[in-house]
């Protein structure tokens, strides 16, 4: 199926618009991470206690918060869990701050919540469904492992593209993926949405998705250069992007509709995971065209100005 037959869009001619778009969202995210919300870490990384409580009737969150305050528990985060249709349910997640969950006495947080509700909440009956506890030491270990997982995945992709194409192709692809990750994490900071382990899983997923899309474009560039080596590289890149445009729109569009449905109807538990995928799919598709390809052309132009030979991708290795 081909949506864009004989497309002839000058993508590289719009590179300055793309650069401006990327700078706006990247800088906004960085400023938010540095001076506003920081990187909002979930209980998986900063430690704490999550108590899942089911009430007999729809609870009043203000009354729950007042019950916590009356018991001397400050800084709690209360989140309502929606059902699969997105409707409000009778279950709440009561999150205790980091200081309330120490390695030596982390069970005290659960007992504090139970005592506070039993003594000060009288709207309806309740029952504790589940308790999740992460000590600060474990949280720091998980945070380090998340950084290592992201870094190793980028390094592995760089080495693979260096082997299959040339180093500049790997650098351009990794830079595009870093751009995607920065904007996605920045989006979480801007809306103050907590980053959890499931969000890290979504970020790793979008790294692979974005890289795959970039490789498709690079592979078409290699095929076109093999037949027209005297053609200007910018023209070859434009033609290659246009030739893969239908595949990009169909694949990314269907994936985006799926994750958008998950975001809208998946409920509170999957909200962070699906939000990361929604942002990541959009930015990842955009960066393959607007970041990786222009960076490749800019490097080749710089080499030609220096009087050096252009770097061409290695020929396809036949299986």
Q: Is 74 left (phi over 0), alpha (psi -120 to 50) or beta?
A: beta
Question: Cα(46)–Cα(98) distance, rounded to whole angstroms?
Answer: 6
On whether both 238 and 146 belong to a single domain, the answer is yes
Residue 215 and residue 143 in one domain = yes
The beta strand positions in the chain, using DSSP E, are 48-55, 77-82, 88-96, 126-134
Residue 250 domain-assigned? yes
pLDDT mean across residues, the chain: 83
Instruction: For 69-104, write each residue's pLDDT tens digit.
Output: 888 887 788 888 765 444 556 888 888 766 544 444
* Per-residue pLDDT tens over the stretch 268-311: 778 889 999 999 999 999 999 999 999 988 888 888 787 766 65
pLDDT (average), residues 6-24: 90
- The first and second tokens of residue 319, run together, are 């299986």
Same domain, 88 and 143: no
Q: Is residue 80 part of a domain?
A: yes
Check whether residue 246 and residue 260 sit in a common domain: yes
Per the domain annotation, does 313 fall within a domain?
no
pLDDT tens for each residue of 187-198: 999 999 989 888
Considering the domain boundaries, does residue 260 fall inside one? yes
DSSP letter at 195? B
Which segments of 157-299 are extended strands (E)?
Answer: none
Q: Do both 184 and 214 map to the same domain?
A: yes
Same domain, 195 and 86: no
| Tokens read off for 32 | 């938010």
Q: Is 3 domain-assigned?
A: no
> Where does a domain end: 134, 163, 184?
134
Per-residue pLDDT, averaged over 175-189, amounts to 93
Residue 291 lies in a domain: yes
Please name which of 17, 19, 8 lies closest in space to residue 240, comparing C-alpha atoms: 8
CA 306 to chain centre: 38
pLDDT of residue 42: 81
- The span from the CA of 310 to the CA of 237, in Å, is 14
**What percentage of residues in the chain have a pLDDT greater than 70?**
87
Do 300 and 254 lie in a common domain?
A: yes
Q: Per the domain annotation, does 2 fall within a domain?
A: no
- 143 and 284 fall within a common domain: yes
The stretch 12-23 carries a mean pLDDT of 92
- What domain range is 256 assigned to? 12-41+139-305
Task: Please check whether residues 182 and 274 belong to one and the same domain.
Answer: yes
> In terms of domains, do 255 and 206 share one?
yes
- How confident is the model at residue 278, as a pLDDT? 94
Look up the pTM and report it.
0.81
How far apart are alpha carbons 76 and 283 in whole angstroms?
34
Is position 145 within any domain? yes
Please check whether residues 283 and 168 belong to one and the same domain. yes
CATH number at residue 130: 3.30.70.3220
Q: What is the CATH number of the domain that holds 189?
A: 1.20.1640.10
Q: Domain check: are 162 and 208 in the same one?
A: yes
Return the closest-CA partner of residue 16 out of 298, 213, 207, 210: 298
Kindly report, residue by residue over 210-233, the tens digit of the pLDDT: 888 898 998 898 888 888 767 788
Question: Is residue 312 pLDDT above 70, yes or no?
Answer: no
Q: Is the pLDDT of residue 315 over 70?
A: no
Domain end (from 119, 134, 149): 134
Kindly give the pairing relationship between strand 88-96 and strand 77-82.
Answer: antiparallel
Please say which residue of 97, 117, 134 terminates a domain. 134
Report how many domains make up the chain. Answer: 2
pLDDT given for residue 86 in this prediction: 47
What residues does 81 pair with on adjacent strands? 91
Instruction: Find the mean pLDDT for residues 142-162.
Output: 85
Helix, strand and coil content of the chain, in percent to the nearest 5, comes to 65, 10, 25
């Amino acid at each position: 199926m081909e949506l864009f037959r004989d497309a002839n869009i000058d993508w590289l001619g719009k590179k300055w618009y793309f650069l401006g778009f990327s700078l706006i969202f990247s800088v906004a995210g960085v400023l938010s991470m540095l001076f506003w919300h920081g990187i909002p870490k979930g209980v998986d990384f900063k430690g704490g206690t999550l108590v899942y409580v089911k009430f007999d009737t729809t609870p009043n969150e203000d009354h729950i918060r007042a019950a916590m305050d009356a018991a001397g528990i400050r800084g709690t985060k209360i989140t309502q869990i929606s059902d699969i249709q997105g409707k409000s349910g009778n279950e709440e997640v009561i999150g205790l701050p980091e200081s309330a969950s120490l390695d030596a006495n982390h069970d005290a947080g659960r007992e504090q919540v139970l005592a506070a509700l039993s003594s000060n909440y009288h709207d309806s009956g309740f029952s504790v469904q589940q308790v999740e506890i992460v000590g600060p030491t474990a949280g720091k270990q998980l945070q380090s492992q998340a950084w290592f997982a992201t870094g190793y995945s980028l390094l592995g992709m760089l080495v693979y593209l260096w082997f299959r194409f040339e180093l500049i192709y790997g650098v351009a692809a990794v830079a595009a993926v870093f751009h995607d990750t920065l904007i996605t994490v920045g989006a979480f900071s801007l809306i103050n949405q907590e980053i959890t382990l499931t969000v890290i899983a979504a970020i790793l997923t979008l790294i692979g998705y974005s890289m795959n899309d970039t490789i498709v474009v690079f592979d078409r560039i290699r095929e076109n250069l093999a037949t027209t080596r005297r053609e200007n590289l910018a023209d070859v890149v434009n033609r290659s992007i246009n030739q893969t445009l239908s595949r990009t729109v169909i694949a990314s569009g269907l994936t985006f509709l799926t994750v958008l449905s998950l975001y809208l109807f998946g409920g509170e538990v999957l909200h962070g995971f699906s939000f990361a995928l929604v942002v990541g799919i959009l930015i990842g598709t955009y960066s393959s065209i607007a970041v990786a390809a222009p960076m490749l052309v800019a490097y080749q132009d710089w080499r030609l100005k220096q009087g050096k030979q252009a770097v061409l991708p290695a020929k396809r290795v036949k299986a």
